[in-house]
Amino acid sequence: MSQTTDERRLDSIEDAIQDIAEGKIVIVVDDEDRENEGDFILAADKVTPEAINFLATHGRGLICLPATEERLRDLQLDMMVDENTALHGTPFTVSIDAVEGTTTGISASDRAETVRRFVDPGAEATDFGRPGHVFPLRARPGGVLRRAGHTEATVDLARLAGLAPAGVLCEILNEDGTMARLPQLQEMADRFSLKIITIKDLIAFRSRSEKLVRCLETVEMPTKYGEFQLHLYESDVDNREHVALTCGSFDDGEPVLVRMHSECLTGDALGSLRCDCAQNLDAALRMIAREGRGVLVYMRQEGRGIGLRQKIRAYKLQESGYDTVDANVKLGYRMDERDYGIGAQILSDLAARKIRLITNNPSKRVGLEAYDIEIVAREPMSIQANRYNINYLRTKRLRMGHLFSDEDLAFEDDESGDQHAEGH
């Protein structure tokens, strides 16, 4: 058993894994800066009608079935919608019922049968009716090291317990219909003798026990900013190669100056004025070089994670009047598809676990802190707006919470400029 700073009881991940292996239900709590909710979770392999009834009676939320992309693809379960505009981008597939062994599909026994059939290795796509009363969710490859959500936590816990990588979850509501928060969740755990853990602790457990990135090569990299070392990493999570530029040593325990920079071919390499990426890259490298100690992690997350092809399609929509957020949504993506688990593992491998983060984007702070990276300070960057990116930067401040100063956005509109040329 571990203790939090406010003395509320939390259980160890090892104890939770043991309970999952034994078919018991556990409560999993996520970060207060995300949904800040608790879910009942159990392994799909161990589901019973009694367990489904417990979730429905005491959880009161939607009963869902998180699983891997591979399993969903095998059973030909498509995403529920082409354009996911949900606040947290919850990845629902079409809902299902087992064709055989069920009646209406809604009873506890019917839903348990649907879940059991889902994890049966011999099951086929034709074994399920669509739509139904069980709601599969697509977990990201890499689990909570890729996305710090309950969907991924469910699949991770089942896998760590040696069971099929699928499970059942249900959000926990109070009797008055409001979301249960940690004090209420702790009371419920005590009442029903359930283990209660956090996704943050699960991330830390996996980060300690698994290494999903590896450094392939390290070479000297002289640049116009100064002498750096380039570290080439490969990730088992997304099978991509990422780069870290470092200078100085990090063995003195002092916070390291860090920039997490997402790939931008059009801005970084081609000098596009539609975004501020090249300015950010230049400013960060200058700051690190001036300090003589720091890391720039260059992540392969083009277009805020949607890829080059979709970014160019988003540009086309922006030329028709969409802003950068609505263009992504129109293409079926969230406003920001990036994740920071891979980058966090790279920082850990470089011994940069206590950092000063160079960013104007507060969501990066939340994303990294979920992966046990301690951020002691945010180091802002000053950027200069131009007639091609002013609307883009305003959108980032107004709709994405970026912390630009009024001076950063102090730009007089030029009638000759294209005011619709937003960036990614």
Both structure tokens of 339: 């994740």
Instruction: Write down the domain spans for the chain.
Output: 2-207, 211-400
Both structure tokens of 170: 């249900």
Helices and strands in the chain, H and E counts? 14, 16
3-state secondary structure of 107: coil
User: Which residues 6+ apart lie within 8 Å of 232 measured at CB?
Assistant: 215, 216, 217, 218, 219, 241, 242, 243
The Cα 112–Cα 105 span in angstroms is 9
Q: What pLDDT is recorded for position 418?
A: 47
The Cα 366–Cα 401 span in angstroms is 13
Torsions phi, psi of 122, nearest 5? Answer: -90, 0
CB 409 within 8 A of CB 393: yes
User: Which residues 6+ apart lie within 8 Å of 309 measured at CB?
Assistant: none
Element (H, E) at 288: helix 277-291
Q: Which CA distances in Å does 259 have to 30, 244, 283, 287?
A: 25, 10, 10, 10
CB 388 within 8 A of CB 419: no
Taking only the tens of pLDDT, the chain with its 424 residues reads 444 434 457 999 999 999 999 999 999 998 755 556 899 999 999 999 999 999 999 999 999 999 999 999 999 999 998 888 877 778 999 999 999 999 999 999 999 999 999 999 999 999 999 999 999 999 998 899 888 899 999 999 999 999 999 999 999 999 999 999 999 999 999 999 999 999 989 988 887 778 889 999 999 999 999 999 999 999 887 778 999 999 999 988 899 999 999 999 999 999 999 999 999 999 999 999 999 999 999 999 999 999 999 999 999 999 999 999 999 989 988 888 887 888 988 999 999 989 999 999 887 777 787 677 899 999 998 888 899 989 888 888 888 888 888 887 876 655 444 445 666 7
- Active-site residues, by number, are 336, 338
Torsions phi, psi of 148, nearest 5? Answer: -85, 65
Q: Which CA distances in Å does 150 have to 96, 100, 261?
A: 20, 29, 26
CB 390 within 8 A of CB 413: yes
The Cα 39–Cα 69 span in angstroms is 21
Helix, strand, coil shares of the chain, percent, nearest 5, are 35, 25, 40
Instruction: Give 167's strand partners.
Output: 43
The Cα 166–Cα 96 span in angstroms is 15
3-state secondary structure of 165: coil
CB 247 within 8 A of CB 288: yes
The Cα 204–Cα 237 span in angstroms is 16
pTM of this structure:
0.65
What torsion do the CA atoms of 34, 39, 43, 49 make, to the nearest 10 degrees?
A: -150
Determine the length of the chain.
Answer: 424
Q: What pLDDT is recorded for position 35?
A: 54
CB 360 within 8 A of CB 276: no
Q: Provide the CATH number for the domain formed by 211-400 in this structure.
A: 3.40.50.10990
Q: What pLDDT is recorded for position 88?
A: 74
Q: What is the greatest pairwise CA distance in the chain?
A: 70
CATH fold, domain 2-207, is DHBP synthase (3.90.870)
